[in-house]
Amino acid sequence: MGDTKTRTPARRAKTRAAQPEPETLVAYYRQMLLIRRFEERAARAYTEAKIGGYCHLNLGEEATVTGLMAALQPRDYLFTNYREHGYALARGIDARRVMAELYGRSTGVSKGWGGSMHMFDLESRLLGGYGIVGGQLPLATGAALAVNYKGGDEVVMCQMGDGTTNIGAFHESLNMAALWDLPIVFVVINNGLGMGTTVEASSAEPELYRRASAYRMESARVDGTDVVAVRDAAQAAVERARRESKPFLLETTSPRLRGHSVVDPARYRTAEEKEALKEADPLAHFGLTLEEAGILDAEARTKLDAEVKAEVDDAAAFADDSPHPDVSTLFDYTYATPVRGVPRRLPADPVF
Amino acid sequence: MTTPSTTMAQALNSALRDALADDERVVVFGEDVGRLGGVFRITDGLTAEFGEDRCFDTPLAEAGIVGFAVGMAMGGFRPVIELQFDAFAYPAFEQIASHVAKMRNRTRGRVALPMVIRIPYAGGIGGVEHHCDSSEAYYAHTPGLKVVTPATAGDAYSLLREAIEDPDPVIFLEPKKLYWSKSQVALPARTEPFGRAAIRRRGADATLVAYGPTVPVALEAAEAAVEEGWDLEVVDLRTLVPFDDETVTASVRRTGRCVIVSEAAGFAGVGAEIAARVQERCFHSLHAPVLRVTGYDIPYPPPMLEQHHLPNVDRILDALDRLQRDDRPDPRFLSLGGAA
Ligand SMILES: Cc1ncc(C[n+]2csc(CCOP(=O)(O)OP(=O)(O)O)c2C)c(N)n1
Ligand SMILES: [Mg+2]
C-alpha cells in the first residue's frame, strides 16, 4: 500500500494491528459484494427509469467504504458526498430503505425526498450525503465542535472526493479543525477524477494528503483497494481523534470503475485506461486473496453471491412496491410550523 | 429551401464557437468544459478547435472561477464561464454580488467587466434540489448584472452573442429542460436585442407573461384555453434585466388581464416585480387582479413530485378561471391577496 508519510498513526497502527480473523475477512468480502451488487442493480434501475435525478455509484470504492465504516463506532458521526449508497449500507441501514430512497419512495431513508444524493439517517448517525461539492465539510467540522462542546467522545468522519480538495470550504474546514483541535477525520477518496478532470489537471499538490501539512495536521495515504489497510489506517486516525481530539486527513486511492454518474459514458477515458480498470477491481482482488489464503473458495463465493443477490432483489422489489410520497408532502417541512401567507393551493382544490 | 431545425444546445455551442472565432479576447473556462465538453455538452469541441488557451478546464472552485473571470476581464479579456448547475453557483455568490455586479460603479466607470456567466437553470428534467433551482431573482435583484434567459434556439444564439459583446457582466440563464428542444432557425441568427420582449402568440383576452422554461408551457396553455373561449397573448421576456416595460404594458393595456408564469417560488420573485410594474402602468386598463402561477414556496421537490410543483397547463387554466371574465368583482381575492 502507498502509505508514503512516516510518523503517521496509520503506519504505527499497521504494524500493531493483528491480522483479522477469517470470519471478519469474509464479512468484509460480503459487505463489499453487497455494495457491488446493490450499485449494479441501481444502475439497472436507473436505465429502467425507476430512479430519477442523478445517481453516483461506489463501484471501485467497495474496499474503501467497507474499511472506513469498519473503523467507526456506532456512536460516531458520518458526513459524505453524494456518492454514498455504499456508506449507508455499510453503516447498517437496511438495503430496502436505501433502494427505496433511490426509487424516491416514501419508505426510503429520507422518505423519498432526498434521493440518491441525500441519504440521511439519525439512528445510524449518517448525517447526510451532500450534493453540493464541499458542502459537507464545514458542517462536519461544526459537528465535531459540537462534540467537543458537550465533552463527548464521538468522532466525526467526513468523506469527500479528490476534486473537492480544491474548493474553498476544504481549506476553511481543515484550518478550523486543526486550529481548534477537533475530533474529526477527513477522508479524501482519490479516484483520480473529478467528473472528467484528473487530479493532476486540477491539483497543484496531487499528493492530496500532503495538503494537511499546511495546517500542521497529520495525514496519510492508503491503498483504497485494500480493505484491511483502509480499516487500520482509519481506525488509528479515528481512535486518535477520540483520545486526543486531533483532526486527521486520510487519503485513500481507488479506481472509479464507471462514469461519474450513471449517465456519464466516460468518453474522456482512453481505451488503455478502461482496460486497466479491469485489473484494478478491488472486489475481484480480495476474492482471489481470500481464496489463496484458503479462507473462501470459489464455491463459497458463489453461495455468498446468491445470498447477496437475493438481498438486493428483495430491496428492489420492496422499493418497487412502496408508495411515492403523497402530493401533500410538497408542503411539509419547509418550516417547523406553518408560515402565514404561503400559498399551498393545488389546482383542483377549492379557493378557500 | 427549408430552415434547418436546431436545438438550443447546438445554438449555444455555435454562438460560443463563432464568438471565439470572431474575437480573440473571448476565452471560455469552467469545470469540465474542455476535455468533457461540459456536462450538457454546450462547449463540445471548442478545445479541439481553438486550443486549450481559449477553452480550458479549471479545478472545482466556483468562487475562484468567477473571480478569475473578473481578473481576466480587468485585463482586457472577454471571459465566458460556465457554472455547471444553478445551485453550484452559490459558492460563487460573493464574487458575483460583491465584485462582478459592483466593479463599474465602484470604480466610477473606470473598470468594465465584459464577462458572461452561463448557468444552466430551472427544472423539468427530473433532477433534485440543487440541480433544478430557479435562481433568477437573486441576480435580477442585484443592480449591476444583466440577466438573460432564452426560450428558443434562435434567441439562445443571438442573446449569447450579444451577451459576450455587451460591456457589462451578464448572467446567462439557460433553461436546461429546453436544451434539446428544437426550433426552425438558420444560424448565425440575430433576433431582437436585449430589453425587447417577444410576443410569441397574439391574443385579445389576456396576457400570459413568461420567460425561459415557462414560455413553451404558456404557449401550450394558450392553445388549450382556446377551447374554453380564451384568446391569449403570450409574451416571452427574453431578458429580465433590462426589462421591457413597453411591450408588456402595451399588451396588458390591450387585453386588460395578466397572468405571470414562472418556475421560481412566487414569494419575492421576478413574477412579483412584473406584477407590480403591470399594476403601476396598467391599473386603469385592468379588469382583474394580476395573477401569478409559480413554483410553490418550497425547496425543489423530488422527480415524482415536480410535475405538481411546476406551473403547468392545468394551473394556468385554473388561474384563467379566476380572471373574472364577466367583470364582476370576485370576493375570493380578498382573502387570497391575488396569488394564484
Ligand atoms: C459546488 C459544486 N460544483 C460542481 C458540482 C458538480 N460536480 C458534482 S461531482 C463533481 C466532481 C467531484 O469530484 P470528486 O470530488 O473527485 O468526487 P467524485 O465524484 O470523484 O467521487 C462535480 C464537478 C457540484 N455538485 N457542486
Ligand atoms: Mg474523484
pLDDT single digits (tens) A23-59: 999 999 999 999 999 999 999 999 999 999 999 999 9
- For residue B116, give the nearest of B92, B146, B144 by alpha carbon: B146
Question: Percent of chain A, pLDDT > 70?
Answer: 94
Shortest alpha-carbon distance between residue A172 and chain B (Å): 13
> Nearest CA to CA, how far is B105 from chain A (Å)?
27
Decide if pLDDT at B314 tops 60: yes
Quick: pLDDT tens for B242-254.
999 999 999 999 9
Residue B297 or B325, more confident: B297
Position B231 in a domain = yes
Residue B276 counted as domain residue: yes
Regarding whether B266 and B128 lie in a shared domain, the answer is no
Report CB contact under 8 Å: A52, B302. yes
User: B241 is in which domain, residue-wise?
Assistant: 198-336
Is the domain of B202 the same as that of B180? no
Give residues (CB < 6 A) around ligand 1: A 83, 131-133, 160-164, 189, 191, 193-195, 256, 260; B 31, 60, 62, 84, 88, 91
Q: A194-198, A301-305, B21-25, B319-323: lowest mean pLDDT where?
A: B319-323
Query: What spacing in Å lies between the alpha carbon of A186 and ligand 2's midpoint?
Result: 15
Which residue from A132, A40, A27, A51 is spatially nearest to A86, judged by alpha carbons? A40
Same domain, B124 and B240: no
CA distance A78 to A185: 10
Q: Is the peptide bond before B242 cis (omega within 30 degrees of 0)?
A: yes
B337 chain-A contacts, CB cut-off 8 A = 341
Cβ contacts of A196 on chain B, cutoff 8 Å = 32, 35-36, 57
Give residue B326's pLDDT band: very low, low, confident or very high (50, 70, 90). low
A310 touches chain B (CB under 8 A): no
φ, ψ for residue A295, nearest 5 deg = -95, -35
Q: What is the pLDDT of residue B129?
A: 84
How many angstroms is it from A250 CA to the middle of ligand 2?
Answer: 14
Chain A residue whose CA is closest to B127: A53
Where is pLDDT greater, at A17 or A178?
A178
CA distances from A26 to A18, A33, A91, A301, B45 (A): 16, 10, 17, 9, 48
Contact status, residue A43 vs residue A57, Cβ threshold 8 Å? yes
Contact between residue A231 and residue A71 where contact means Cβ atoms under 8 Å apart: yes
Residue A62 — pLDDT band, cuts 50, 70, 90? very high
Largest Cα–Cα distance of chain B, in whole Å? Answer: 65
Q: What mean pLDDT value characterizes chain B?
A: 94
Task: Name which of A69, A83, A86 is nearest A33 in CA terms.
Answer: A86
Calpha distance A162→B64 (Å, rounded): 17
Nearest CA to ligand 1 atom 12: A194
Q: Is the pLDDT of residue A7 over 60?
A: no
Mean per-residue pLDDT for B96-118?
98
The answer to whether the CB of B271 falls within 8 A of the CB of B296 is no
Active site residue B131: yes
pLDDT band at A221 (very low <50, low <70, confident <90, very high): very high
- Which residue in the list B99, B131, B308, B309 is annotated as catalytic? B131
Average pLDDT over every residue of A121-140: 97
Q: Which ligand 1 atom is nearest residue B130's CA?
A: 25
Between 2.40.50.100, 3.40.50.970, 2.60.120.260, 1.10.1050.10, what CATH number should domain A9-326 receive?
3.40.50.970
Specify if B92 maps to a domain: yes
Q: What is the pTM of this model?
A: 0.94
Pair B207, B272 in one domain: yes
Give the closest residue to A157 by CA, choosing from A75, A36, A35, A63: A75
DSSP-derived pairing of the beta strands B239-241 and B146-148: antiparallel
Summary mean pLDDT of chain A: 93
Answer whether A351 touches B (CB < 8 Å). yes
Are A202 and A194 a contacting pair, CB within 8 Å? yes
Q: Which ligand is nearest to the CA of B39?
A: 1
What are the start-end ranges of the H helices in chain A?
9-16, 22-47, 62-71, 85-90, 95-102, 136-149, 168-179, 199-202, 227-244, 271-279, 282-292, 298-321
Cβ contact, residue pair A327, B308, below 8 Å: yes
Collect all residues with Cβ–Cβ distance below 8 Å to B72 and sequence separation of at least 6.
B27, B79, B115
The three cell numbers of residue A262 are 450513471
Mean pLDDT of the A126-137 span: 97
Q: Which of A179-193, A331-345, B195-209, B286-300 has the lowest mean pLDDT?
A: A331-345
Segment B314-322 mean pLDDT: 93
> What's A269's DSSP letter?
S
| Residue B4 CA to ligand 1 centre (angstroms) | 36
Do B255 and B224 form a contact (C-beta atoms < 8 A)? no
How many A from CA of A194 to the centre of ligand 1? 6
Dihedral sign computed on CA atoms, order A223, A54, A131, A196 = positive
Per-residue pLDDT tens over the stretch B120-130 = 999 999 888 88
**Domain-ending residue, one of B124, B157, B184:** B184
**Nearby residues for ligand 2 (ion, Cβ within 5 Å):** A 161-162, 191, 193-194
CATH number at residue B25: 3.40.50.970
Query: Which member of B35, B309, B314 has the closest CB to residue A197?
Result: B35
User: For B257-290, b where at least 16 C-beta lie within 10 A, e where not — what string?
Assistant: bbbbbbbbbbbebbbbbbbebbeebbeeebebbb
Lowest-confidence pick of A81-85, B91-95, B272-276, B320-324: B320-324
pLDDT band of residue B113 (cuts 50, 70, 90) is: very high
Strand pairing class (A218-223; B198-201): unpaired
CA A126 to centroid of ligand 1, rounded, Å: 20
Answer yes or no: is the ipTM higher than 0.90.
Answer: yes
Calpha distance B149→B120 (Å, rounded): 10
**Structural domain contains residue B192:** no
Q: Tell me if B190 is assigned to some domain.
A: no
If asked whether residues B146 and B26 sit together in one domain, one would say yes
Which atom of ligand 1 lies closest to the CA of A167? Answer: 1
Q: In the structure, what pLDDT confidence band is assigned to residue A253 with cuts at 50, 70 and 90?
A: very high
- Per the DSSP assignment, residues forming a β-bridge with A79 are A158
Task: Spell A103-126 as b/e; 16+ CB within 10 A means b.
Answer: bbbbbbbbbbbbbbbbbbbeebbb
Pairing of strands B258-265, B78-82: unpaired
Q: Are residues B68 and B14 in the same domain?
A: yes
A133 and B CB contact within 8 Å: yes
Residue carrying the nine cell digits 380572471: B323
CATH number where B250 lies? 3.40.50.920
Q: Which residues pair with B80 in a beta bridge?
A: B28, B116
Residue A17 pLDDT more than 90? no
Last residue of a domain, one of B184, B218, B242: B184
pLDDT at res. B127: 87
As beta bridge partners, residue B174 has B120
Is residue A91 within 8 Å of residue A99, measured between CB atoms? Answer: no
Whether the predicted pLDDT of B18 surpasses 60: yes
Mean predicted confidence (pLDDT) in A309-324: 98
Q: pLDDT confidence of A341, banded at 50, 70, 90?
A: confident
Predicted pLDDT of residue A107? 98
| Helix (H/G/I), strand (E/B), else coil: A159 | strand
Same domain, B272 and B312: yes
How far from B255 is each of B209, B221, B250, B283, B338, CA to CA, in Å?
12, 17, 9, 12, 18
Closest-CA residue, ligand 1 atom 18, reads A161
Reading the block at residue A34, the C-alpha cell is 453487497
Residue of B nearest to A195 (CA): B32
Question: What's the number of domains chain B is made of?
Answer: 2
Mean pLDDT, range A188-206, rounded to an integer: 97
pLDDT for A10: 44
- Percent above pLDDT 70 for chain B: 95
Between CA A321 and CA A315 the distance in angstroms is: 10
Segment A87-94 mean pLDDT? 98
Q: Which of A348, A142, A121 has its CA nearest to residue B312?
A: A348
Check if the beta carbon of residue A10 is closer than 8 Å to that of residue A218: no
> For residues A140 and A137, what is the distance between their CA atoms, to the nearest angstrom?
5
Mean pLDDT of B161-181: 98
Q: What is the pLDDT of residues B38-58, one digit of tens each?
A: 999 999 999 999 999 999 999
Chain A residues lying within 8 Å of B35, measured CB to CB: 196-197, 268
Same domain, B32 and B141: yes
Determine, yes or no, domain membership for B310. yes
Residues B213 and B176 in one domain: no
Q: Decide if pLDDT at A99 tops 90.
A: yes
d(CA B220, CA B214) in angstroms, rounded, equals: 10
Alpha-carbon gap, residue B194 to A39, rounded angstroms? 47
Domain boundaries, chain A: 9-326
Domain termination site, one of B154, B184, B214: B184
Q: Which of B261, B262, B253 is nearest to B317 (CA)?
A: B261
**What local confidence, expressed as pLDDT, does residue A338 receive?**
82
Q: Looking at the structure, tell me whether residues B12 and B122 fall in a common domain.
A: yes
Q: How confident is the model at residue B327 (pLDDT cuts 50, 70, 90)?
A: low
Mean pLDDT along residues A198-218 = 97
C-alpha cell at B199: 410576443
Whether residue B193 lies inside any domain: the answer is no
Calculate mean pLDDT across residues A8-36: 78
| Cell reading at A53 | 435525478
Q: How far apart are the first and last CA of chain B?
A: 45
To test the pocket of ligand 1, the residue of A79, A132, A195 to mutate (highest count of ligand atoms within 8 Å of its CB) is A195
Ligand lying nearest the CA atom of residue B60: 1
Q: Indicate whether B212 and B160 sit together in one domain.
A: no
Q: Are residues B179 and B257 in the same domain?
A: no
Indicate yes or no: CB of B59 within 8 angstroms of CB of A203. Answer: yes
**CA atoms of A139 and B199, how far apart (whole Å):** 47
Whether the pLDDT of residue A286 is over 50: the answer is yes
Report the C-alpha gap between A99 and A314 in whole angstroms: 10
Q: How far is CA B149 from CA A184, A193, B119, B177, B183, in A?
A: 43, 32, 10, 13, 16
pLDDT recorded at residue A19: 83
Query: Residue A3 pLDDT > 70, yes or no?
Result: no
**C-beta of residue B336 within 8 angstroms of C-beta of residue A349:** no
The predicted-structure confidence for B188-226, as pLDDT tens digits, reads as follows: 999 999 999 999 999 999 999 999 999 999 999 999 999
